[in-house]
A and B are shown apart, each in its own frame.
Chain A
Amino acid sequence: MPKLRFGKGGQPLTDSNLLLVITVSIFAAMYIISMIAFGGGFLNPQQFLNLFNENASLIVLACGLSIVMVTAGIDISVGGVTALVTVCCAVHLQGQGGNVPASLILALAIGVAFGLIQGLLVAYLDVQPFIITLAGMFLARGAATMVEVNPITVTHAGFAALRKIEIRIPGIGYYAKNGNFINSKIELGVIIALIVLIAVFAMFKWTRFGRNLYAIGGNSQSALMLGINIKRTKFFAYLLCGGLAGLGGFIYLLHTGSGAVTQATGTEMKAIAASIIGGFLLSGGVGNILGTLFGVISLVTINNIVVSMGLKGPWWQGITTGAMLCFFIVLQSIIMSRRNGGKAVRPIWMRKSREIGS
């Protein structure tokens, strides 16, 4: 296969960027085809922006997951933490003296607490991240039930005001039936999510910590010998992921306005799927955070397409999400192995260690 040469100075693209290009192209193709085939909602800029409005919290959670996944780790507690945060914040806001800043701090504190404990166990005691965050997931949901069994709708005035904030984008919009031009809008959560995304992007690209994360995912033994403190780096990865889960929970509450144990069920899996689609391989060391964003909106778009095709049954969403994940993983592995000279057909011990995964 001829080497792709899009990178700077005629360099072949790095694996991370190659995967990003694939994700973005597929999303663009998918969206453009839908615009042509289904028209309607797909032509409405608001529907495009709703991809973000409805998934701001997922974007934040997926950013956190990308951070741990690039170190070849995983965190499946984020959905549970989100639920716990919505419940705790709702209880706080509905109680006496509840106020918005305190609820935000509460959300972050809950997330950081989970990240702290999980990070300590994974990094310093070498506990399997899957196991420990599985425990974290159960713990978070359990704690949420303990705090409040019934769903709570937040009626706190300050919070409601915050929920109403929406940013109209000048020049972009559509004509309503009565002929008025309606500007498209995005919610406050989206702004926060995009700031997080940019911050994570900058961290990955320009900070020592960010690059150390990639080094650890590439080969943790080598990273150690290159003088990287892998324990501390891993610890902070989980800490950050936890903190982002807390923030994601707050945004979730901001979007839905109600706290409940059942909120965000399966969100951790969606966040993992979004990261994988975005190019973060489970084996670690590759991925570009912009890919994660496209991973999130691809996941949602495919569901919209299914609905547009008239497949209304709720099971279709699960099936298409599964199929798409499968498609991406197969595509990625084909491209990555072709890139390494078609060595995937070799018996396992003859492959590059990178293909096997460390």
Chain B
Amino acid sequence: MKETVLEMRNISKEFPGVKALQNVSFTLREGEIHALMGENGAGKSTLIKVLTGVYSMDSGQICLSGKPIKIKSPQDAQAFGISTVYQEVTLCPNLTVAENMFIGRGKYSFVKWAEMNRKAKMLLDNLGIPAKPAQQLASCSLGVQQMVAIARAVDMDCKALILDEPTSSLDEQEVVKLFSLMRDLRSRGVGIVFVTHFLEQVYEVCDKITVLRSGEFVGEYSVEELPRLDLIAKMMGKELSSLSEISEAASMVHESESDFVYEAKNLSGSNGTKPFDFSIRRGEVNGFTGLLGSGRSESVRTIFGADKALSGDIRVGGKPARIAKPFDAMKARIGYLPEDRKRDGIIADLSVRDNIIMALQVMRGAFRPFSKQEAEDFATEYIELLGIKTASADAPVGSLSGGNQQKVILARWLLTHPDYLILDEPTRGIDIGTKVEIQKLVLRLASEGMAITFISSEIEEMLRVCSRMIVMRDRNVVGELTGSELTQDKIMRTIAGGAANAQA
């Protein structure tokens, strides 16, 4: 039996109106990668924050290598050898990359810039992170920021490493890098806690799984004894039979010869998007696919006017239109759920209700506010529809779990009932049960006539909902696949180039 690194016993934590953790126990042993699983709002992040002293627990005990310890602040946790990457990127945007990797660590009174930058450069190079030590963090993409946070955590000489959904903003190659790093640390005896909503990743790297449900401890299992479907059932607390719906969604077919909702000719953007033609009909669901950085998000940002268009003739509903800024797009009844919701989406201090009705309010104009009742109804409707776990519609969005915050922003755009809705990674960070619900919702909205662009880094998910896929590489559209061409293999080949063009 391996030595226990960290043991949390009977932890309870209550927020006003929410029992976030009830008698939860968790054991981390030396040299194991331990998945912490559960639906959105199950209490995973809360457990982690209790462990690292961000929140104080109501009751329970934490032991490090068998000895009871008291952790009052993240500083204490670091001193005990627990290093953490939190779900939200928690770095300082105004400092440099190198500073973010070293600030608040170790014992020093003076900053040795040259040495710090040199060490940072080594770390960045080792992990292949495309950032310079002296660069201001704000100028890095979210994925890079996430990698910087990871680099900081792994560089610390730690006994336990905690990773709360580190992969949600990483692309495939970065995930591969992270996994090899995790395996390396495991072989050196570090215990790793890993939170994710991607089940494949759990089965790829983890040894143990602990499942939480609604703040309660469900059980600890080794990976072999808990196949996928059992894991899902444990997380959702439902019997297997009700899960067959998952594959049902995929079987829907959708074809239409209706009017164009949006057409663009020769559209190019200041964000580097090369000129492309694009159009979408009523009731159609299409997707942009390609590797991260291929320009799929940039394309839709250009369509929405979030980034400036350099050229392009745009028609909305058949009539020429000008979309120079997001507000123009909103007036043309186009909605857009941005990819980078942590930065572009949430206003943490506002209530769930206000966050939901915000976009609709903008479209109506500021001088025609909703009545309290209307706002209440909308909020209640969508909280139910998306299963948003919140104490009430009045709770500030900042108090929701990461996944539930995402649902709030999704609700915001669904509520506007646009003619054309762009969803960039709508299911990122969302648990598997709700993911399926969202996919079904997308298909239902399309069948009611809405045009939808759906972007996801999970190709299976896109195959399930899209009837047409636009493939991008290096900010160029390199192919368009429909009908029987829509297979994972074909998409991969088009992304890689070559074969697909020959057959087209």
**Residue positions of A touching B, CB distance < 8 A:** 7-9, 11-12, 14-16, 205-212, 214-215, 217-219, 221-229, 285-286, 340-342, 345-354, 356
A16 to chain B, nearest CB (A): 8
| A226 and B90 in contact, given A9-B132, A12-B139, A211-B99 (Cβ under 8 angstroms) | yes
Which residues of B in the span 88-112 have a Cβ within 8 Å of any Cβ on A? Answer: 90-96, 99-100, 103-105, 108-111
Looking across the interface, which residue of chain B has its beta carbon closest to that of A341? B307
The interface-forming segment of B34-42, B73-81, B228-236, B447-455 is: B73-81
Interchain CB contact (< 8 A) of B75 among A211, A229, A352: A229
8 A-B pairs closest in CB distance: A227-B104, A218-B92, A218-B94, A285-B94, A226-B104, A225-B90, A222-B90, A228-B104
Contact with A along B97-134 (1 / 0, CB 8 A): 00110011100111101000000000000000000101
B74:A226 contact, CB within 8 angstroms: yes
Q: Does B319 contact A (CB under 8 A)?
A: no
Q: Does B10 contact A (CB under 8 A)?
A: no
By DSSP majority rule, is chain B's interface helix, strand, loop, or mixed? loop
A15:B136 contact, CB within 8 angstroms: yes
Contacts of A286 in B (CB 8 A): 94
Interchain CB contact (< 8 A) of B92 among A208, A219, A227, A347: A219
**Residue positions of B touching A, CB distance < 8 A:** 52, 54, 73-75, 77-78, 84, 86, 90-96, 99-100, 103-105, 108-111, 113, 132, 134-136, 138-139, 306-308, 325-327, 338, 343-347, 355, 358, 362
Interchain CB contact (< 8 A) of B86 among A215, A225, A342: A225
A212 to chain B, nearest CB (A): 7
Bound together, the chains give a CA A134 to CA B84 distance in angstroms of 39
By DSSP majority rule, is chain A's interface helix, strand, loop, or mixed? helix
Contacts of A341 in B (CB 8 A): 307
A222:B91 contact, CB within 8 angstroms: yes
Show 10 A/B contacts (Cβ-Cβ < 8 Å), sorted by A. Answer: A16-B94, A208-B108, A211-B99, A225-B74, A227-B104, A228-B104, A229-B75, A286-B94, A341-B307, A350-B326
Contacts of B136 in A (CB 8 A): 12, 14-15
A347:B132 contact, CB within 8 angstroms: no
| A227 and B105 in contact, given A11-B135, A207-B111, A345-B325 (Cβ under 8 angstroms) | yes
Bound together, the chains give a CA A354 to CA B343 distance in angstroms of 9
B75:A227 contact, CB within 8 angstroms: yes
A285:B343 contact, CB within 8 angstroms: no
A214:B92 contact, CB within 8 angstroms: yes
Bound together, the chains give a CA A289 to CA B75 distance in angstroms of 29
Bound together, the chains give a CA A347 to CA B363 distance in angstroms of 11
Looking across the interface, which residue of chain B has its beta carbon closest to that of A18? B136
A224:B54 contact, CB within 8 angstroms: yes
Contacts of B91 in A (CB 8 A): 219, 222, 226
A11:B134 contact, CB within 8 angstroms: yes
Contacts of A226 in B (CB 8 A): 74, 90-92, 100, 103-104
Interchain CB contact (< 8 A) of B103 among A205, A228, A346: A228
B92:A285 contact, CB within 8 angstroms: yes
A214:B307 contact, CB within 8 angstroms: no
Interchain CB contact (< 8 A) of A221 among B90, B306, B346, B358: B90
Looking across the interface, which residue of chain A has its beta carbon closest to that of B152? A226
Tell me which of B75, B108, B113, B308 has the highest count of chain A C-beta atoms within 10 A of its own C-beta.
Answer: B75
Contacts of B109 in A (CB 8 A): 207-209
| A215 and B362 in contact, given A9-B132, A341-B307, A346-B326 (Cβ under 8 angstroms) | no
B134:A9 contact, CB within 8 angstroms: yes
Tell me which of A218, A223, A227, A351 has the highest count of chain B C-beta atoms within 10 A of its own C-beta.
Answer: A227
Bound together, the chains give a CA A215 to CA B92 distance in angstroms of 6
Bound together, the chains give a CA A11 to CA B307 distance in angstroms of 24
B93:A206 contact, CB within 8 angstroms: no
Contacts of B346 in A (CB 8 A): 349
Bound together, the chains give a CA A340 to CA B138 distance in angstroms of 9
Known pairs A222-B92, A356-B347; list 9 more (Cβ under 8 Å): A8-B134, A211-B99, A215-B94, A224-B54, A224-B74, A226-B100, A227-B77, A341-B307, A350-B326
